[in-house]
C-alpha cells in the first residue's frame, strides 16, 4: 500500500459545508493527507440525519475528517472560527454568499484578514446572471441538457448518482491544489469559486461541440445515432443481461466468429465499418438471437481474452461481491460514530503500483474533536463551551 503518499500532509483544511459538493472537496483533500476539520452546527450537520437515498451521503463524503461544533450565531462561536482560520491553509465552504457575509466570513474579507488563506467556495453558479439562484444536482442537469440527453425524448432523466456534486467537489480540490502550488511561488492565498452548473456544462460539452461543428443537435442517448456496429444490451440463455460492444472491424470479426455468425463476415453488404453501422437495423437482431443461445459464463470466457468490450448489468449493491472491487485497496472500511462499519471506494488511481489511500477513513461523531482543536488554539473550558453551543457536547 502506498501509505506514504500524503502530498498534503501538514496542510490544515477547515471545511464548513454540507450535503455532497463541499464535503467531497474536503474529503479529496483529506485523501491526499491534509488535516480536515469539519465545522458543524451544535446539533450536527443536517446531512447526518438524512434517510433513504440520502443515508449514504454523510458517511461517504466525510471519511477521515475531524469534527468540531460551533454556534456561529454567537459571538463566541464566530470568534473561535476566526481563530481557527488563522491557523488554516484552506477554507472550504458552500454557504450562500449573503449568509457568509453577514457572519463576517465573506471570501474577500477572509483574504484581507488572512493573506495566505486559500478559500474554496462550492456554489451553484459562477458569477453571472444566475449567481444567486439556488442549485442542486438535479437542477443543473435539467438546465444544461444533461437530463435531456439521458432520458428518451420527452422524458428528461437525471443520471443515477450525484455525479455533478462529486465532480464539482473534485474540481474544488483540483483548484485548491493549483492554488497551493501558486502560493508556493508568490506567497499569496487565493479565492476559488466552483460552479455546479458550470461543472455540468463541461459534462455536456461534447454534445454542444457536435452542434457547433455540424449544426445539428444530437438526439438523447437512448435514441442516439450509433457510431459502432454493436454497442447494445443483449440477453443470454439464462435471461441474464449483458452489454456487448464491437467498435472496430477487428472486434466485429472476432464477435462474429465467437457467436458463430461467419455469414455476416462474408456478406458483401458488411465489408466496411460504415456498412456494418448502417446495417444495424437487421444485424443487431441476428446478434441478439445468437447471444440468446449462449450462456453468460461462456461468453465471458470467450470475450475477455479476445478483447471484446462487455459487461454484466450490475446493481451498485453487487459491487461488494465483485472480485476486482474486493481486491486489496478496492474498498476501505470506515467505523461509524453510532457503531458498526461501512465500506466505500477511495481514489480511483494507484501510486507506484499501489492504492494511494491507506489512512484515516473513519467518520467522526458530532463535535468529537471540539475540545482538542479549540484547546490547541488556547481556548479554556468556558470559552470552548460558549463557542460550541448547546447540543455540541463531545462524545466520550
pLDDT at 114: 97
**Distances from the Cα of 343 to the Cα of 127, 173, 245, angstroms:** 38, 23, 31
pLDDT at 391: 62
The single residue listed with the C-alpha cell 462499519 is 341
Kindly list the domain boundaries of the chain, sorted by start residue.
Answer: 12-204+323-388, 227-313
C-alpha cell at 1: 500500500
- Give the N- to C-terminal CA distance of the chain in Å, as an integer: 32
pLDDT at 163: 93
C-alpha cell at 132: 444567486
**Distances from the Cα of 325 to the Cα of 92, 251, 346, 356, angstroms:** 31, 27, 11, 15
Q: Tens place of pLDDT for every residue, the chain, 396 residues?
A: 445 789 999 999 999 999 999 999 999 999 999 999 999 999 999 999 999 999 999 999 999 999 999 999 999 999 999 999 999 999 999 998 898 999 899 999 999 999 999 999 999 999 999 999 999 999 999 999 999 999 999 999 999 999 999 999 999 999 999 999 999 999 999 999 999 999 999 999 999 999 999 999 989 988 887 789 999 999 999 999 999 999 999 999 999 999 999 999 999 999 998 999 999 999 999 999 999 999 999 999 999 999 999 999 999 999 999 999 988 778 889 999 999 999 999 888 888 887 765 556 899 999 999 999 999 999 999 999 999 987 644 433
Q: Which of 165, 232, 352, 368 is catalytic?
A: 165
What number does CATH give the domain 227-313?
Answer: 3.30.1540.10
> Does the active-site annotation cover 165?
yes
* In contact, 356 and 2? CB cutoff 8 Å: yes
Third-level CATH fold of 12-204+323-388: Rossmann fold (3.40.50)
Amino acid at each position: 500500500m502506498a501509505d506514504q503518499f500524503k502530498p498534503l500532509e501538514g496542510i490544515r483544511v477547515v471545511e464548513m459545508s454540507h450535503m455532497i459538493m463541499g464535503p467531497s472537496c474536503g474529503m479529496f483533500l483529506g485523501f491526499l493527507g491534509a488535516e480536515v476539520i469539519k465545522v458543524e452546527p451544535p446539533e450536527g450537520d443536517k446531512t447526518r440525519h438524512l434517510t433513504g437515498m440520502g443515508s449514504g451521503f454523510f458517511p461517504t463524503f466525510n471519511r477521515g475528517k475531524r469534527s468540531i461544533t460551533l454556534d456561529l450565531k454567537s459571538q463566541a462561536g464566530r470568534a473561535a472560527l476566526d481563530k481557527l482560520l488563522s491557523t488554516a491553509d484552506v477554507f472550504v465552504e458552500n454557504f450562500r454568499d449573503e449568509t457568509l457575509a453577514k457572519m463576517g466570513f465573506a471570501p474577500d474579507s477572509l483574504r484581507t484578514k488572512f493573506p495566505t488563506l486559500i478559500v474554496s467556495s462550492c456554489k451553484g453558479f459562477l458569477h453571472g446572471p444566475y449567481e444567486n439562484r439556488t442549485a442542486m444536482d438535479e437542477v443543473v442537469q435539467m438546465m444544461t441538457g444533461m437530463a435531456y440527453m439521458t432520458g428518451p425524448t420527452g422524458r428528461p432523466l437525471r443520471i443515477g448518482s450525484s455525479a455533478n456534486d462529486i465532480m464539482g467537489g473534485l474540481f474544488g480540490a483540483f483548484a485548491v491544489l493549483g492554488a497551493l502550488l501558486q502560493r508556493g511561488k508568490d506567497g499569496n492565498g487565493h479565492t476559488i469559486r466552483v460552479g455546479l452548473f458550470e461543472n455540468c456544462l463541461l459534462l455536456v460539452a461534447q454534445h454542444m461541440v457536435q452542434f457547433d461543428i455540424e449544426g445539428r443537435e444530437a438526439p438523447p442517448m437512448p435514441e442516439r445515432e450509433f457510431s459502432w456496429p454493436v454497442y447494445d444490451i443483449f440477453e443470454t440463455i439464462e435471461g441474464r443481461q449483458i452489454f456487448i460492444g464491437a467498435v472496430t472491424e477487428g472486434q466485429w470479426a472476432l464477435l462474429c466468429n465467437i457467436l458463430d455468425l461467419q455469414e455476416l463476415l462474408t456478406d458483401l453488404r458488411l465489408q466496411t465499418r460504415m456498412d456494418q453501422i448502417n446495417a444495424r437495423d437487421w444485424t443487431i437482431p441476428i446478434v441478439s438471437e445468437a447471444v440468446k443461445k449462449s450462456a453468460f459464463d461462456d461468453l465471458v470466457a470467450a470475450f475477455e481474452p479476445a478483447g471484446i468490450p462487455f459487461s454484466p448489468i450490475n446493481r451498485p449493491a453487487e459491487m461488494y461481491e465483485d472480485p476486482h472491487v474486493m481486491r486489496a485497496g478496492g474498498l476501505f472500511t470506515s467505523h461509524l460514530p453510532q457503531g458498526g462499519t461501512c465500506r466505500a471506494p477511495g481514489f480511483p488511481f494507484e501510486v507506484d503500483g499501489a492504492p494511494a489511500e491507506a489512512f484515516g477513513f473513519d467518520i467522526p461523531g458530532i463535535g468529537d474533536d471540539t475540545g482538542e482543536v479549540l484547546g490547541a488554539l488556547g481556548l479554556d473550558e468556558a470559552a470552548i463551551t460558549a463557542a460550541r453551543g448547546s447540543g455540541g457536547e463531545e462524545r466520550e
